[in-house]
Chain A
Amino acid sequence: MFGSFIKKSRAKSPWIMHFDCGSCNGCDIEVLACLTPLYDVERFGIINVGNPKHADVLLVTGTVNHRNKKVLKNIYDQMPEPKAVIAIGACGNTGGIFREAYNVVGGVDKVIPVDVYVPGCPAKPEAIIDGVVAGLAKFAQKVEEA
């Protein structure tokens, strides 16, 4: 009985952590907009915790460069299972227009496994919320398989 409650709770209480891997801050502003009263993601139980140890979902923006890829990996490792990663914006998905630059790694999935890609430049808050919800579905799926 507790097991099914815990499974249900996972989808109802996704705590997010947001990390900027070299983004121009456009996508970051849109992420923060989701937390404002206009879009209000707290209705879904989402809280922005700043600490990977408390987080379930990692939202990553930016192209990821050779310096902050270590930090990204470190944060990902400090998140307890089960966890999901959502890459936001063109830069996070593939590196965007900066893909060919010498310092750019080119996309979050080159460093850590990504579950959901949210395109856009910047991605709209509605798209981000859609992405998080899709991420939750994947979350639940992962948990069922585990």
Chain B
Amino acid sequence: MSNLLVLLILLPAAAALVCYFVRSMAVRKLTVLATGGILTLSALGLLAQGTFAPIEVGSFLGIGSDFLIAVLDFVLLGVIYFYGYKHKSLLIQGFTLAQVVLLAWFELVMVGHEAVPAMMGDQLSLIMVLVISIIGSLICIFALPYMKEHEEHLHLKKTRQPRFFFFMLIFLGAMNGLVLSNNILWMYFFFEVTTLCSFMLIGHDATEIAAKNAVRALWMNALGGLAFVVGMMLVYTQAGTLNISAILALGSTSAVMLTGLAFLCLAGFTKAAQVPFQSWLLGAMVAPTPVSALLHSSTMVKAGVFVVLRFAPAFAGTFLSTGVAVCGAFTFLACAALGIGQSNGKKILAYSTVANLGLIICCAGINTPLALTAAIILILFHAISKSLLFLCVGTIEQAIGSRDIEDMRGLYGTNPRTALITIIGILTMMLPPFGVLLGKWMAMEASADSNIFIVVMLALGSAMMVVYLARWAGSMMGTSEPGAKAESQPMLTRLPLMALCLGSVVLSVASPWIYNSLLAPWIGSAPFVVGFGSLESAHGTFVVVPLFLVLGLGLLYAVKAASGYRRVKIVPPYVSGANSASGDGTYVGPMNGDVPFSTGNLYLGEMFAEPKLTPIFNALAVALIVLMLGGAL
């Protein structure tokens, strides 16, 4: 078991060093593939072994692990300060210095340094480990051909891939460490490692805009780190221990404890790019696609919601909980609204990610068993679907040279496989019976128990998400020209795409069993009973497997009916009788000239333009966060 933990946390670090120092492409490829495989197997092995109570981690190469973590913490803060200095960012320098001072006070003066069993694995941790290891490995594998093409496109003379894979792999190890941590200082350390990796990877292309966005990400995450330290200190004052399981078991709701937890939630908010911090995630979209897929949709930002969810039992039933829920719901609404005005594919996905993270945080805030189930279901399925969509957008961008969804119109005609996988990915994000909708359904049912503002915000946000996802999927449908060149893709691109696509569907079918084996034990008073492949409760029932069967059969029939379309008469579209000879939507216009077909989506700029809405939403969000923090007092 501890072997598995070593593999999950330290092997990626070792592999990262290999990737950085050994400058051979073949070795790098092999290392990434091998690491991916071992991580996947280890995660599955950990799952098979089941949950484990907090265990001690002994010394590492003769040095006490706690001491090692503490030293590395200060080194890390020093590195971050250095980059703040290099980029002349007062915010980064300020926040990092504050963290150093407070952390030093904490470590040297406050903490009693008793032995804390540092690693624990409850069901939440195990699910997170699976998500990180399996999806992370698939993304790293996808990154191999992607980065090669990316660097050819940029005409780079000297490859920067060693640096890229170094940070990607270190990040995987750090994430695993974060979710398995039982010692709050360790959690903080891994939290900061992910901040650094994000900064390095956003700025990977070393262009001016990349550097600017990386700096913005760093100062916002540094603010989060500062909040984490403050929260950590306040919690320690009340709880007297660094042991997370003990803190959760304490059940204290004193003002100091709640304020500490509120600051920890604030740290989670910045990491998860909640409003008003969403601009760093939007800016991070300049990074290469595997970065967006791994860090900024399926994994690192999930660390933010993980922190909130991990500490949720400690503040259940308090005003803080309601405050967290309202902030989360507001983010959901705000980012769903902002997504409507976007035509940049990656920005749409970014806003959708932030919105879904807001929904997860809202569930964590509502804090009923049903809501917590919803949160974990959303974490799991959103990670799969969103990473799939980011990888698809990356593939499409390399194929057509643009990430604007207007340029992806009719993509099925030229790139059928990618277009189909993208359409399936979009549908798994918003339609039943797939997992993301299952989570959303649970979240809405849970929200009916909370207050009316949350209900209204969730209802509005959910409708808005359907709009911009449906129109993207619809615009990609087109007709394949007969005799078109078959789409070619490297095997290492195709494999992760197909695996994620298949995974999102198969796991959705298996959701009742996932619930039974992993979620119900974690929640305690399980909200659902599994019967006939459905999740039943007095609240409401989601018939997972029957729906899959019926809708699946229906879809098969529809596909069969559609595949016979060449026997049906094909006609051009109706353009008032003035079709030109070319047969598609071109029509005969003025001076008998051909007017080509052109169309665009309704971006509803009067209501949903990003520049107009963002300041209003940011202001409201700050007010809500202040409300949340103050309410803890």
Chain A residues in the interface with B (C-beta under 8 A):
19, 51-53, 70-72, 74-75, 77-78, 80
Contacts and interface: CB of A to CB of B under 8 A. Distances in A.
B71 interface: no
B574 A53 contact: yes
Interface residues of B, number: 8
Q: Report the 7 A-B pairs with minimum CB-CB distance, sorted nearest first.
A: A71-B577, A74-B577, A75-B577, A78-B571, A74-B579, A51-B574, A53-B574
Contacts of B579: 74
Interface string B575-600: 01111000000000000000000000
Contact of B571 (A19, A72, A77): A77
B567 to A, nearest CB: 15
14 contacts: A19-B577, A51-B574, A52-B574, A52-B577, A53-B574, A71-B577, A71-B578, A74-B577, A74-B578, A75-B577, A77-B571, A78-B571, A78-B574, A78-B577
A71 B588 CA distance: 10
A4 B569 CA distance: 24
Nearest to A19: B577
Contacts of B574: 51-53, 78
A72 B31 CA distance: 67
Interface of B: 569, 571-572, 574, 576-579
B511 to A, nearest CB: 41
B97 to A, nearest CB: 70
Nearest to A75: B577
A70 B592 CA distance: 12
Contacts of B571: 53, 77-78
Contacts of A51: 574
A95 B578 CA distance: 23
A127 B49 CA distance: 86
Contacts of A78: 571-572, 574, 577
Contacts of A77: 571
Nearest to B577: A71
A11 B597 CA distance: 37
Contacts of B577: 19, 52, 70-72, 74-75, 78
Contacts of A71: 576-578
Contacts of A52: 574, 577
A71 B578 CA distance: 6
Contacts of A80: 569
B307 to A, nearest CB: 56
Given A71-B576, A74-B578, A77-B571, 16 more contacts: A19-B577, A51-B574, A52-B574, A53-B571, A53-B574, A70-B577, A71-B577, A71-B578, A72-B577, A74-B577, A74-B579, A78-B571, A78-B572, A78-B574, A78-B577, A80-B569
Contacts of B578: 71, 74
B271 to A, nearest CB: 53
B347 to A, nearest CB: 37
B333 to A, nearest CB: 39
A103 B463 CA distance: 55
A72 B576 CA distance: 10
B595 to A, nearest CB: 15
Nearest to B575: A74
> Which residue of A72, A74, A75 has the most chain B CB atoms within 10 A of its CB atom?
A74
Nearest to A76: B577
A51 B575 CA distance: 10
Contacts of B572: 78
